[in-house]
Amino acid sequence: MRELQGAVLAWYAEAGRDLPWRRTTDPYAILVSEVMSQQTQVARIVPRYEAWLERWPTEDALAQASVADVLGAWVGLGYNSRALRLRDACAVVARDGWPRTAAGLRALPGVGPYTAAAVASFAFGEQVAAVDTNVRRVAGRIGLGTPDELVPAGDAATWNQATMELGALVCGARRAACDACPAAPWCGSAGQVVVTARGARGAGVRFEDTNRWVRGRVVAALTAGEDLPKDIDPERLATAVDGLVRDGLLRREGSTVALADGEPGAVVR
């Protein structure tokens, strides 16, 4: 096991991408990066992350931001409710301080098991596996233990980064470059990885045909001070608006909707 761990850590030291959130132990900056990274490509995140921290450099600053400002800064990153949960979590931290364990962090709004473990290990040094899709896939293919069992004693933070990076760059879901993998000599799947085809669920569905796309268009319009999009089917628009109101991103006032703490806004058709 030590040889495997050493090989993966040595590979990461050479091949790991230089990402800004990997150069800090600030729990707020790490939490921002983790929330932004959910289902969003790293290349898109870096400039948005840096701009976010320039605007709101601390959890206290973000906790005091308006819903309109937060959503406006989040436009284009998807799943706008994540931005509000991030703001809610920072409000709790600004009041009570940072929990320093994964168990404590899970009590924050919008913080699930993976995000809690990531912040706990990267910011506070807790020896816990941060298990995302990449880490779970790497451990499963190697076949020598669970993600928790593979963590080297005393170095969970670097190991978590290394296995995430290995899954992202080498041991991909639909492409496994076993000949370039540092874990290959110990991997039970080396050279015979079965790549799973994309499932039938959602196959052929354009993003523009999803409710998520409509919700994004609505939030983008309102943060820009514009009317609701007129090129979207009224029924789809109404469904998206109803969901955004239920989720607390918008409020309804008679025949108009607005951002939760914004000025009265666009008329609902």
**Measured distance CA(30)–CA(27) in Å, rounded:** 5
Residue 15 and residue 181 in contact, taking contact as beta carbons nearer than 8 Å: no
**Measured distance CA(239)–CA(218) in Å, rounded:** 11
Checking 20-26 for CB contacts under 8 A at 24+ apart, the result is 20/46, 20/49, 20/50, 21/49, 22/161, 25/122, 25/123, 25/124, 26/123
Question: What token pair was written down for 52?
Answer: 């976010």
Is 34 catalytic? The answer is: yes
**Measured distance CA(212)–CA(44) in Å, rounded:** 18
Phi, psi of 71 (to 5 degrees): -65, -35
**Measured distance CA(265)–CA(245) in Å, rounded:** 13
**Measured distance CA(8)–CA(187) in Å, rounded:** 12
Q: What is the 3-state secondary structure (H, E, C) of 209-231?
A: HCHHHHHHHHHHHHHCCCCCCCC
**Measured distance CA(173)–CA(167) in Å, rounded:** 8
Candidate list 34, 59, 126, 165, residue with the active-site label:
34
Which residues are catalytically annotated? Answer: 34
